[in-house]
Structure 1
Amino acid sequence: MITKSPLSTASGIPVADDQNSLSAGRRGPLLLQDFHLVEKLQHFNRERIPERVVHAKGSGAYGTFTVTQSLSPYTKAKLFNEVGKKTETFVRFSTVGGERGSADTVRDPRGFAVKFYTEEGNWDLVGNNTPVFFIKDPVKFPDFVHTQKRDPGTNLKSPTMMFDFWSKAPESLHQVTMLFGDRGIPDGYRHMDGFGSHTYSLINHTGERFYVKWHLKTRQGIKNLSQEVALRLCGDDPDYAQRDLYSAIESGDYPQWDVFIQIATEPALANWETRTGWNPFDLTKVWPHADFPLLRVGLLELNRNPANYHAEVEQAAFSPANVVPGMGYSPDKMLQGRLFAYHDAQLYRVGTNHQHLPVNAPRCPFHNFQRDGAMAGSNGGAGANYHNVHARGTSPSGLGHGEPGLPLIGHAGRYDGRGQEDDYQQAGNLFRLMDAQEKQRLFDNLAGPLSQVPEEILHRQLGLFQKVDPLYAAGVCAALTKRGVHAHYVRNSGFELNADATSFA
């Protein structure tokens, strides 16, 4: 909508003419004293803040979270203490690997980040549309993301880079199977689930700790795009997901998600790990629902579109480090890395005072002694810029909000679990849950990029699929054969197919 307000400079000075620059004569050179022209061009040159390295293409909306099940036995966090209690939220959805101008219908995980403006501060639940991830140690994250970006020589996306990484990282198999399955391309953002993915913790009034995983189940029903439809939309409507979300909310068709948790005590997780051999804090693993049932705790509804995309979506800043009293973290290594990385990214991308921006600012009173820096919108006035030291001490206990200390054991060092940890069974369980048609789509989706990689990488990746389930590798081989890719290769690789192309000889 075009405003009819009088035009002024950013300092409020009226602008007499926005159509003609100040010049020396009708055809003469322009004058530097035309401050309106200078200010306009200077601001234009600085309109773009640094793009997110990941999750660059995104959409957002405001909404409410309503409690349907009190969590008072498990947490003292006030937002969960009463059935019917409502908390304002802001949600940002995104693709992960593409640039801001890329299509939002590509095969890619989707970000699902929720900011809860609670009475005790902001809680950020920062997750994806999948319950697991490709890696379990944050030291691999920059390398992994580089393989999903552009080749430094060709500036093109590279299946070779992607599968060179994945074929050497068996821990990625679970997420790769999800990514190339039907849910790898959601039909917009309204028709997908969300997950906190990591293991977090809740702490109750008596100081008991419970570990939890967060699930958000769409009430719109799961819908996905086929590879063919998604590719067509990349050209016809590359902003399909953005348009769908905005239009639905604008028309009053408010999307909703039921919010669930899986919850476990520390002894229960220890017993489960002993029985299964799976690390409950491993981001490449799920907690099976049969062992840890879902408990419905609330309803998330999105009901208001942002008024300005840049101010409210592009500048929205999330961090999993933002938890309120009664909530906490876990020994999940990926989570531990993200506790630092997300806030650090916002400091670089938006600035040291990014929490002052309206979309990021808490709705409750806040006070600290952080001062100055660029864009210090709330800078403490004439108040002190340091905290008084208590001569007698503060008698701290636990981690600071009444939760017990986290026991840590072991010698400091770098530990490599490869060869000792199971990276295949859960991926195989997921594969075996698929019906025949979904398996065939998985095979075909994988055959596309795998047909473009060197034989060495293809051999490694097929070897991993073989360990997940022999039919998995056989199906991918058959799909590659249909493409005329590897008839000679299969003979040389040791993966010999039966005549029916459904199993290995």
Structure 2
Amino acid sequence: MPPCSLKSHNTSYGPGNPASLQLQQYAANSTVIGNFTTSNGAPVYDILNTETAGEFGPVVLQDYTFLDEIQHFDRERVPERVVCAKGAGAFGYFTSTNDFSNYTQATIFTTVGKRTPLAARMCRFSGQTGSPDTVRDLRGFSLKFYTDQGNWDLVGSSFASFWLRDPLRFTSLMHASMRNPTTNLYDPTMFWDFIGNSPETANMLINIFTDRGIPLSYRTMNGYSTDVFVLSQANGSYVFAKFIWDTNQGLVNIPDSIAAQLAGTDPDFHTRDLYNNIALGNFPSWNLSAQILTRQQLTQFPWNPFDPTKEWPVRLIFRMPLGVIVLNENPKNYFAQVEQLAFNPASLIPGIQPSIDKVLQGRLFAYSDAQMHRLGSNYDLLPVNSPVDQVANRQRDGQGRSGGNMGGAPNYSPNSFNGPLGGNVLFKRSPFPVTGLVESYNTTAQSNFAEASIIWAQVLTNEDRTAIVNNIAASIANIPSFLQLRNLNNFYYIGSDMAERIAGLLNISFTPPPPVIPTLATPIPTQLVYPI
């Protein structure tokens, strides 16, 4: 891990800190807005005192100034995100550096030099809005591209793999990572009980418990789509892709000791760091690329290539540089531009389609449904979520409707009165075959440790391995002994020395479990490899 210096990341509250100067800068560049008004625009004389029946009497119901103020205050917070509640956002642009038209008709990638505005939000995966930034956790890293074909939301995270391979298990993962419903405290027993019973989490465990589990800042971490997408052309040809954006600031992380210090002295450290660096002109950037996998290569995989708990082996794929992401603008109003910023993996554009990745399939519904609950059925019409071009559809009315409600255009199809048209073959999605019976397929035993054991033995450094065993030992030190042993068994299948070293740190007598021959995923059927 590169040495880190907190002094170089603008953590002070002094005069050189842009975040601490926001109000002074606003006053210097603004005049008084005008007379105080109620929400209906009526000027108000007294903005500090309620109307009462006599000097010491009760407040009267006719005091609309008070009612207007308190009713809005009571509703000031929309429900916080269930996942990734604590986060920061910024705006910038993506510049294409390669012609990618051989793979996709998405115009964001087909013209060298094309600049596309974007919004970004980085966050902690678990925890609440008031929790510290510097906690060991997966980080979310999502991008909204305002393209000339509509908005494309690229929902990503700080690691190339994910915890689970089936979306039905996601709610249990989140519940195990949140507060105990009885004590209202974070409970490592809940977390490790779930993890010990979910061996597919092996890859994520060795990621989270390296120093990469606590990045120094949002600027010093990478982003990964994790899920698999389809890149298609108008003629129906397609390839599979994962997206990666590599930080140009260098991967820098912090150990637990510094993270704990920051959690106490500056729990908003990552948010402050991002805001201050952009305000000072230190615009962070990332190189966006795509990992490409052809249909012919699918059968060469040792495991299911659509399993998000795994990374794609480098020998089977190649990476194509796409362009550069730059963040150069802070939000002018956090609530309007970050809290109301809504991502949805189903927000795709021509040339980018979903794959049969099960977790992605679950996300296609879950994200939009969550945003409708948080922000209302018309969340896509909020300014920060609104696409560049005018929306043309059959949707009307609903809570929070804005944007003219499509005027007098017909709200049904087909119609004879110049309503929006469909049927343009340029925007038809590439078809793909499916095979098999509709039923629930248990993936619990699918090659859980094969890749994790390779990473442990061949990819990680000695320093990484030491960090992992120390961090895991500290995390499981106070959970029940039977859960310690269950997790040690899983660690043994990742690496025998991993389990033995953790057991030694805990002073536990550990007997290696019997050998297990991993069950590989069912081979990808030939029908899914070749075009229809």
Shift of 1:132: 0.8
Which runs of structure 2 are paired with 1:253-402 in the superposition (5 Å)? 253-270=282-299, 272-273=300-301, 276=302, 278-378=303-403, 379-388=405-414, 401-402=427-428
- Which residue among 180, 186, 196 is the counterpart of 2:225? 196
Question: Is residue 2:430 matched to residue 1:430?
Answer: no
Q: Deviations over 1:457-477 (max 9, x none)?
A: 111111111111111111211
Distance of 2:97 and 2:408 partners within structure 1 = 44
Shift of 1:389: 5.8
- Secondary structure of 1:88's aligned partner: strand
- Secondary structure of 1:20's aligned partner: coil
Shift of 1:364: 1.3
Query: Which residue pairs with 1:501 in the alignment?
Result: none
Which runs of structure 2 are paired with 1:98-497 in the superposition (5 Å)? 98-270=127-299, 272-273=300-301, 276=302, 278-378=303-403, 379-388=405-414, 401-419=427-445, 421-432=446-457, 433-481=459-507, 486=508, 489-490=509-510, 493-494=511-512
Task: Check conservation: 1:370, 1:385, Cα contact below 8 A.
Answer: yes
One-letter identity of the residue aligned with 1:311? A
Identity %: 39
Specify whether residues 108 and 395 from structure 1 end up closer, same or farther in structure 2 by C-alpha distance, changes over 3 A only.
Answer: closer
> How many equivalent residue pairs?
479
Shift of 1:50: 0.5
Shift of 1:5: 1.3
Q: Deviations over 1:173-215 (max 9, x none)?
A: 0001101111000111000000011000110232211100000
TM-score for the superposition, normalised by structure 1: 0.92
- Secondary structure of 2:41's aligned partner: coil
Which is worse superposed, 334-343 or 450-459?
450-459
One-letter identity of the residue aligned with 2:502? V
Shift of 1:479: 2.3
Distance of 1:97 and 1:157 partners within structure 2 = 11
Question: Is residue 2:106 matched to residue 1:64?
Answer: no
TM-score for the superposition, normalised by structure 2: 0.87
Q: Deviations over 1:83-134 (max 9, x none)?
A: 1100000000000110011001100100000000000100000010011111
- Secondary structure of 1:295's aligned partner: strand
Distance of 1:193 and 1:479 partners within structure 2 = 31
Q: Deviations over 1:218-246 (max 9, x none)?
A: 00000001011101111110000000000
Q: Deviations over 1:10-61 (max 9, x none)?
A: 1111111112222223223222111111100000101010011010001000
In structure 1, list runs of 5 or more residues that go unmatched.
496-505
Distance of 1:18 and 1:29 partners within structure 2 = 18
Shift of 1:395: 10
Task: Check conservation: 1:104, 1:239, Cα contact below 8 A.
Answer: yes
In structure 2, list runs of 5 or more residues that go unmatched.
1-22, 514-532
Two-structure CA RMSD over aligned residues (Å): 1.8
Task: Check conservation: 1:397, 1:404, Cα contact below 8 A.
Answer: no
Query: Which residue pairs with 1:80 in the alignment?
Result: 109
Distance of 1:334 and 1:494 partners within structure 2 = 33
Distance of 1:397 and 1:368 partners within structure 2 = 15
